[in-house]
Amino acid sequence: DLYVLEDTKIVSDLSCSFSSTSSSIKNLLWHARLGHPHSRALELLLPNVPFKNNECEACILGKHCKSVFPISSTTYENCFDLIHTDVWTSPCMSRENQKYFVTFIDEKSKYTWITLLQTKDRVLDAFITFQNYVTNHYNAKIKFLRSDNGGEYT
């Protein structure tokens, strides 16, 4: 806040003082407006405004991480022992009007195959085609298929 003070002589015998206090809410507001910088950055920009990073709930939540799946200790010796799959929605339509795609990722080699789909109900057909490809080109069988249980294969 900006206040204009006239330079006038105080005629009273009483002591006068002017003070400005910054509330924690204003500090958090500036912190949010500036894009949630670290407290050291705020101290450089606003040296007279105290701020602690542990006051911002969004920053606290942003530092938390949650593992979707527990880390597995199982190792797979051969390619195609475990294939990860997921269906994605593309941000734009392909030339052939395909809005979705399914990924197949081999756990051992991390090699990834992508199949474009017009509709999500074609996922099972894409998997069967991929399974035949693995059998014919690599003379291998897919042992395990892991998905996120999104319902694409039901």
Task: State the burial class of residue 106 (Cβ atoms within 10 Å of its Cβ: 0-12, 13-18, 19+).
Answer: buried
pLDDT at 85: 96
pLDDT at 87: 94
User: CA of 19: how far to CAs of 5, 22, 55, 64, in Å?
Assistant: 12, 10, 24, 39
State which residues of the chain have pLDDT below 70.
1-25, 52-54, 65-69
User: CA of 102: how far to CAs of 26, 27, 81, 143, in Å?
Assistant: 47, 46, 19, 19
pLDDT at 21: 52
> What's the farthest any 2 CA atoms get from each other in the chain?
100
How many angstroms separate the CA atoms of 15 and 10, rounded?
9
- From 3.40.1160.10, 3.30.450.20, 2.40.280.10, 3.30.420.10, which CATH number describes the 82-146 domain? 3.30.420.10
pTM summary value: 0.55
Residue ranges per domain, the chain?
24-63, 82-146
pLDDT at 23: 59
Q: Determine the straight-line distance between the first and last CA of the chain, rounded to whole angstroms.
A: 60
